Structure 1
Amino acid sequence: MRVNRPEEFPDDFWIPIPLDTNNITAFSPYLVPQDHLGTPFIFYSMSAFMFVLWVAGTAINVLTIACTVKYKKLRSHLNYILVNLAVANLLVSSVGSFTCFVCFAFRYMYLGPIGCKIEGFTAAIGGMVSLWSLAVIAFERWLVVCKPLGNFAFRSSHALACCALTWVCALSAAVPPLVGWSRYIPEGMQCSCAPDWYTTGNKFNNETFVMYLFCFCFAVPFSTIIFCYSQLLFMLKSAVKAQAESASTQKAEKEVTKMVVIMVFGFLVCWLPYVSFALWIINNRGQPFDLRLATIPSCFSKASTVYNPVIYILLNKQFRSCLRKMVGMSGGDEEESSTSQSATEVSKVGPA
């Protein structure tokens, strides 16, 4: 087997400790186990965790897609966006989590520089599609419930266009490191890959790329989510005041409030650690830090492939009912999710 030596790939990794360049092969994340960063137990524990994410994330997202294909009643505009979310999660779990599972088992980036770029790219594009899909879901709920455009109907064609837009936005974030604006290198314990947050003053212009990711790929979708869901909650408050005697409206407000809190919390758990770490690195050049901490944000983002479907799909009664039927369990005939029911009730008292 051909050995990839560092001098052949001078821009493919970054060693965060002073080294004699003649002995850099002793620490290359592509050649040797990174035992200077942790004990074998830590690496194997991370491998086991990634194995769970790989199996669970792949299974639950495959079931979501298969369920939508099988049951025609699930092919609504909102569910198209949920399926888009499931496809993105499936890409991350089946490629990103699986690659990390293998590399943590070997305790270094066993798949080499090319494998690093593949893992970094798939994790980036899947994560960005997932993130933008969450913003689209919030935007759709705002249009349907609050009716800012009057009687405008959000149709399946609009949902499909929004899904396509999420992939365009994701590609704009995932492709640049492949063509010279930043780069994909091993991160954390050197068994997963991500854009280069660390180096500065070089040809990759990493600072500008990180700021681009923060502004366009985090701040914009996060602001969209916060704005849309806050407007939704204000609408529900108005509905409660208008129907003070209605117990069903009071219940609707509680249900949607709970859903909104869970959705926003899930978003922050997924992305805030990654963004915070990257911005800290950019604004504290030269400050010492434990490189192993960089693994934690990566784990949170990959774990979203499991908890995103739970929040957005399994809490949907219609999806849950069809899933139970598909796996041979009695599922009942619920046709509407609690959020959809709440939206219907609120829309009756909302502005025309």
Structure 2
Amino acid sequence: MPPDDLPEDFFLPVDAPDGNVSALSPFLVPQTHLGSAGLFAAMAAFMAALVALGVPVNALTVACTARYRKLRSHLNYILVNLAVANLLVLLVGSTTAAYSFARTYFVLGPTACKVEGFTATLGGMVSLWSLAVVAFERFLVICKPLGSFSFRGSHALLGCAVTWVCGLAAATPPLLGWSRYIPEGLQCSCGPDWYTTNNRWHNESYVLFLFLFCFGVPLSVIVVCYGRLLLTLRKVARQQEQSASTQKAEREVTRMVVVMVLGFLTCWLPYATFALWAVTHRGRPLEPALASVPSVFSKASTVYNPIIYVLMNKQFRSCMLKMLFCGRSPLADDDDASGSSQATQVSAVSSQVSPAP
């Protein structure tokens, strides 16, 4: 990229004498003027740790589902879809960011930046919508709003397809001219253009589209579905105050719902908030290091989500232990029995719920 084209193509508003430190191309020059070498090294280490932790657990999720028939339920199809989206982000987005942070600039060039930005956005959006589909599936199964309707594998596969359609709808526009993918924060990872001030790329509409369609809608689905689920289970628990199993199921589900919602907000609220702030404060100085934090948190969802949705699933945990130890895990019987007991409790609770009119 010729240096003369940089002011028109790329502008980063920070406190600098000329107002544009991005004149030092993030594709050609180390960006240590934006932060200390130690900060870049810490970011590289963090991204490498995400890859080291996230790839095995997400790959195990896919491998276990392929190997063990008992894991091939409609809910687990969606969890596998989530794992595939996480792997896409880890293997392309997180590894590229780790390498770039280690080199202190986006050494792979503008084309790789577009690929990394597109891949990370696609995987992230599929992940977001997968969490919404999981919430909707739990709502249908437990609350029975459609009466005798049975959520089947075909419905789960349709839900997975919808997540990829929504992901492509969100990630493709910057490749076609509605916004664009550029280095963000410390200039070592790429994402949609949130903050440049050149009028040619002044596309608040795309950011608002992402905020409403890819954050607001999934969050609303999650809050409404889990809110209804909690109310339903609490109602049944009050009706069966003498049933220890029902009370235990209600407490476990409540705890899981709180963890799921908090995990969602931890991963995505910083990124959504930063994007909205940047779009409504065009040209205001920002700290590049702080601008990198939301991106790091969103990529960290590739580790948070499997812990919440998979490792806390006792059947998955049992099968993973078997696969890791090349045989039967000493904890397998207890986990299977506990998993079966929990499933029985939830089924008993859901059977007490009257279908919504």
- How large is the Cα RMSD of the aligned pairs? 2.0
Q: 2:195 aligns with which of 193, 198, 212?
A: 198
Matched, 1:350 2:357: no
Q: Percent of aligned pairs with the same residue?
A: 60
Shift of 1:284: 1.8
CA distance in 2, matches of 1:351, 1:282: 46
Map of 1:186 onto structure 2 = 183
Do the aligned residues in 2 keep the contact of 1:317 with 1:338 (CA within 8 Å)? no
The DSSP-based 3-state class of the residue aligned with 1:172 is: helix
Q: 2:276 aligns with which of 274, 279, 282?
A: 279
Map of 1:32 onto structure 2 = 29
Matched, 1:325 2:328: no
CA distance in 2, matches of 1:228, 1:193: 33
Shift of 1:10: 6.7
Shift of 1:340: 3.8
Q: Deviations over 1:233-289 (max 9, x none)?
A: 001111111111101111111100000000000000011000111111111223222
54-63 vs 202-211, greater mean Cα deviation: 202-211
CA distance in 2, matches of 1:345, 1:29: 58
Map of 2:142 onto structure 1 = 145
Long gaps (5+) in structure 1: none
Do the aligned residues in 1 keep the contact of 2:94 with 2:299 (CA within 8 Å)? yes
Q: 1:214 aligns with which of 211, 215, 222?
A: 211
Q: Deviations over 1:307-343 (max 9, x none)?
A: 1000000100111111011111334241637764443
Q: Deviations over 1:91-125 (max 9, x none)?
A: 11111110001000110011110111111111100
The DSSP-based 3-state class of the residue aligned with 1:194 is: strand
Alpha-carbon distance change, 37 to 168 in structure 1, aligned in 2, over 3 angstroms: same
Q: Deviations over 1:203-232 (max 9, x none)?
A: 444200001001111111000000000000
CA distance in 1, matches of 2:271, 2:160: 24
325-334 vs 93-102, greater mean Cα deviation: 325-334
Q: Number of residue pairs matched? A: 348
Shift of 1:192: 0.5
Matched, 1:103 2:100: yes
TM-score (norm 2): 0.93
Do the aligned residues in 2 keep the contact of 1:14 with 1:185 (CA within 8 Å)? no
Matched, 1:162 2:162: no
Do the aligned residues in 2 keep the contact of 1:181 with 1:205 (CA within 8 Å)? no
Do the aligned residues in 2 keep the contact of 1:143 with 1:154 (CA within 8 Å)? yes
Alpha-carbon distance change, 350 to 24 in structure 1, aligned in 2, over 3 angstroms: closer
CA distance in 1, matches of 2:99, 2:340: 39
The DSSP-based 3-state class of the residue aligned with 2:332 is: coil
